[in-house]
Structure 1
Amino acid sequence: MDRSETSARALDYALMLAGWYRAAVTAFEVIWVNVPPVSATSQPVLSPKQLEAFADDLQRFVDAKAPADAVVHTKIGHGPVVRAIRQEARELHADLIVMGTHGQGGFERFLLGSVTEKILRTVTCPVLTIPPAAPDVPTVSTPFQSILCAIDFSPASLRALEYALLLAEESGKRLTLLHVFDWDEDRLVHDDRATREIRQEHRAAILVRLRALAPADVREWCDCREMTAIGRPHEQVVLAAAGEKADLIVMGAHGRRASTLLLGSTTNQVVRHATCPVLTIRT
């Protein structure tokens, strides 16, 4: 975090989830001194007094938000931000990283933005990204009442579905499974009836496959829906999330082949453009 408004929103969500799961939160801020090192192999060094000042500022920032019964630790890291976050997550055996998609901080702090995308590509634990347009943290006991899970039937997206099902069972009233066909409708001539019929059959088959992904008991406690869309995957995921009033988008970190959801570049684009939190799962 960098104590910006965006990272403050991410902290709010982290605290909410920690309260929900009775977990601990580590508020981690990385300080990067933007001055040349003494030598090619050394890094700029902060004095103990400077580090103490940063730690005090971070503690005050967290104390202003954390409820009295929350278990919150604060820690200051130093050095290249992505490397520091990865190392801290490994050492903590973190179950989840929560980040804002961009931020603004002082001249010595790394702005969260491209950092988030690098973290998405390199960490092994799930990452929850909170966009600037995300709503305030829900005050209800079940925060994610409408969940959208993007499916391209790749191992990554099926792993993401496992998380979506767990969250829907614990919190959701609605789970929407979405598959996007990356078809170029503009190139389909108006009277190409045969191609349209083939596509309709393919869509019907995909809806059957989507329906089979959710166990029968899921529909007993959750409104489980299946959807397909045509167009650019990231645009359709964001549009569908808005249409379903989703509180959370769940996606795998990479896809199967070029003609499917492309859950690599697609994930980054969804994270950039979504107006609700995005949970990314790597395999």
Structure 2
Amino acid sequence: MIRGIDMSHPWKPQAVVLGTDLTATSGVVAGTAIEIARRLDVELCILHVFQYLIHHRYRMPVSWMLEEVRRDINAKLRRLKKRAEDSQCSASTKVIESEDPAGSLLKESARFERAILVLGTHARDPIERFFLGSVAEQVLRTTRFPVITVGPHVKRRFGMGNDQLMFATDLTERSLEPIPLLAALMTPSTHLTVVHVTESVLETDARAAMDTVRARMALYLPDQAMKHQVKWKVIHSSEVTKALIEAATEDKAELLIMGMHRSGELNAHLPLKTGFQIIIGAPCAVLSVCS
């Protein structure tokens, strides 16, 4: 945390809620959640939803197999809790047996007035998403909390590399909502790139438009941080998704932060909105603040 930032502000989360499937690929997701909770100095609540067909009539007794699976789940959760505690992060674990992972995660996070949710997504393209659906997408469409999504192309957890953050804004009011949270995540060694993608070819107009963002960020970041840790980038392109993914790759960003406009349930299977496209294609974790 940067000296001068007041972490008692009402937007400080009470907990980071990690939804994990405990698969081999979930390590990067867990590592990201641990670093976020450690950096914000809040508890990490680790949740695993155990899914099985409760009402199915099996031809042979399966209770012994289920107990074996439960023991394996609890052992993995204990190791994950120890990993968090070894990183100086307070952690708790919980197993919920349910056929609705998204609903269970939303219900668990609702215990808090303010929380950050962290989860992974395996969807790699719009076709896969259309047919399989996505727990991450269901959560993003429903929750009132910020969500950090770790997509299929993310190879390293947040906090392992150069502490490079990227904030994408379209200069609308809703796109500025993540600013207090991104300020809280910054440390004295953090580098932040603020990116605006525009079709306008007038450089002076684009630079002037960024003044709104500068003024808002100055409310949360000390002058020294604004001067030495923040850089500004205007990208002229009509392909927002491609431009942001390329910018995050070029900057070796560890966390891409953006505001998103929540779509209604009727839009669940329409073509992907820009935010979901970015999450699926990003080389780093994506923190989304939905309005």
Using the TM superposition, give the Cα deviation of residue 222 of structure 1 relative to its aligned residue in structure 2, in angstroms: 1.4
Matches within 5 A, 1:257-276: 265-276=273-284
Q: For residues 30-76 of structure 1, what are the alpha-carbon distances to aligned partners after superposition, in whole Å with 9 as ceiling and x for unaligned?
A: 122136569xxxxxx99995785365234344146334443211101
Q: Given the superposition, is the C-alpha separation of residues 220 and 22 from structure 1 closer, same or farther in structure 2, using an over 3 Å criterion?
A: same
Q: Given the superposition, is the C-alpha separation of residues 135 and 205 from structure 1 closer, same or farther in structure 2, using an over 3 Å criterion?
A: same
Instruction: Note if contact 2:262-2:290 (Cα within 8 Å) is conserved in structure 1.
Output: no
Instruction: Note if contact 1:147-1:249 (Cα within 8 Å) is conserved in structure 2.
Output: yes
Distance 1:72 1:278 in 2: 22
Distance 1:162 1:138 in 2: 19
Indicate the larger mover: 119-128 or 88-97.
Answer: 88-97
Residue 66 of structure 1 corresponds to: 84
Counterpart secondary structure, 1:116:
helix
Mapped pair 1:179 → 2:179: no
Counterpart secondary structure, 1:133:
coil
Q: Given the superposition, is the C-alpha separation of residues 36 and 236 from structure 1 closer, same or farther in structure 2, using an over 3 Å criterion?
A: farther
Q: Given the superposition, is the C-alpha separation of residues 255 and 78 from structure 1 closer, same or farther in structure 2, using an over 3 Å criterion?
A: closer
User: Kindly, what percent of the aligned residue pairs are identical?
Assistant: 21
Distance 2:144 2:74 in 1: 30
Q: Given the superposition, is the C-alpha separation of residues 9 and 21 from structure 1 closer, same or farther in structure 2, using an over 3 Å criterion?
A: same
Instruction: Note if contact 2:257-2:287 (Cα within 8 Å) is conserved in structure 1.
Output: yes
Residue 4 of structure 2 corresponds to: none
Distance 2:194 2:46 in 1: 33
State which of 238, 244, 256 in structure 1 corresponds to 2:251. Answer: 244
Distance 1:116 1:265 in 2: 14
State which of 26, 37, 42 in structure 2 corresponds to 1:7. Answer: 26
Counterpart secondary structure, 1:70:
coil
Instruction: Note if contact 2:260-2:289 (Cα within 8 Å) is conserved in structure 1.
Output: yes
Distance 1:3 1:145 in 2: 26
Mapped pair 1:228 → 2:235: yes
Distance 1:59 1:101 in 2: 19
State which of 52, 66, 69 in structure 2 corresponds to 1:33. Answer: 52
State which of 76, 87, 98 in structure 1 corresponds to 2:95. Answer: 76
Larger Rg: 1
Instruction: Note if contact 2:39-2:185 (Cα within 8 Å) is conserved in structure 1.
Output: no
Instruction: Note if contact 1:6-1:101 (Cα within 8 Å) is conserved in structure 2.
Output: no
Mapped pair 1:22 → 2:41: yes
Distance 2:73 2:29 in 1: 19
Ranges in structure 2 where 5+ consecutive residues have no aligned partner: 1-19, 58-62, 124-131, 264-271
Moved over 4 A (4+): 35-38, 45-52
Distance 1:165 1:56 in 2: 35
Residue 119 of structure 1 corresponds to: 139
Distance 1:235 1:90 in 2: 34
Distance 2:262 2:75 in 1: 41
Counterpart secondary structure, 1:200:
coil
TM-score by length of 2: 0.71
TM-score by length of 1: 0.73
Question: Amino acid of the residue matched to residue 170 of structure 2?
Answer: D
Instruction: Note if contact 1:176-1:225 (Cα within 8 Å) is conserved in structure 2.
Output: yes
Instruction: Note if contact 1:24-1:70 (Cα within 8 Å) is conserved in structure 2.
Output: yes
Mapped pair 1:146 → 2:170: no
Q: Across the two proteins, how many residue pairs are aligned to each other?
A: 242
Q: Given the superposition, is the C-alpha separation of residues 63 and 159 from structure 1 closer, same or farther in structure 2, using an over 3 Å criterion?
A: closer
Question: Amino acid of the residue matched to residue 72 of structure 1?
Answer: A
Distance 1:71 1:167 in 2: 17
Residue 260 of structure 1 corresponds to: none
Distance 1:46 1:251 in 2: 46
Instruction: Note if contact 2:151-2:284 (Cα within 8 Å) is conserved in structure 1.
Output: yes
Question: Amino acid of the residue matched to residue 244 of structure 1?
Answer: D
